[in-house]
Amino acid sequence: MGKSITRVRQAALDAGLQIQVITLPSSARTAQQAADSCGCAVGQIAKSMIFEGTRSGALKLILVSGTHQLDLSRAEILFGEPLGRADPKRVRAETGFAIGGVAPIGHLCSMQTYMDEVLTKYETVWAAAGAPETVFEIAPHALLTATQAVLFNNG
């Protein structure tokens, strides 16, 4: 088991959560692929996306439903500043996760986190567990609490 997956499991334990990390038969690079592998609706996939504030330079974790794309033209209204894609090397160095396997918990650094409110409409959601082929299922309100995320309306 890789270090990233171990960190996700430990972060879950530290938050009082019991999760089961599942290894998918193949890497789930899209929300649809993940949903197909998990046997859930694409909206139940919690995409963990790392952006960088263009003014502050701070990394921000945005959890978005698999049915949504993030409209960066609304970033200043939603997140307080314009956002740009974070450099993958920086993401790896500062969070401990490679793009494609970024989990919502278990980061090496703390960062402001936001969660698409659509995710709260489901009984459970699925998130990356530290590698592109690993996921875990969690109640969205437990994820919200564990990440200390701010809800936002992405619709």
Is the CATH number 3.90.550.10 carried by domain 3-152? no
Q: What is the pLDDT of residue 87?
A: 96
Distances from the Cα of 83 to the Cα of 19, 25, 80, 86, 108, angstroms: 31, 34, 9, 9, 21
Q: What confidence tier does 102 reach under pLDDT thresholds 50, 70, 90?
A: very high
By C-alpha distance, which of 91, 85, 128 is closest to 109?
91
47 CB-contact burial (10 Å; exposed 0-12 / middle 13-18 / buried 19+): buried
By C-alpha distance, which of 60, 15, 62, 47 is closest to 135?
47
pLDDT in tens, 35-58: 999 999 999 999 999 999 999 999
Q: What is the pLDDT of residue 1?
A: 61
In degrees and rounded to multiples of 5, residue 36 shows phi and psi of -60, -45
pTM of the model: 0.94
Q: What is the pLDDT of residue 30?
A: 84
Q: What percent of the chain has pLDDT over 70?
A: 99
pLDDT above 90 (res 27)? no
Where are the domains positioned within the chain?
3-152
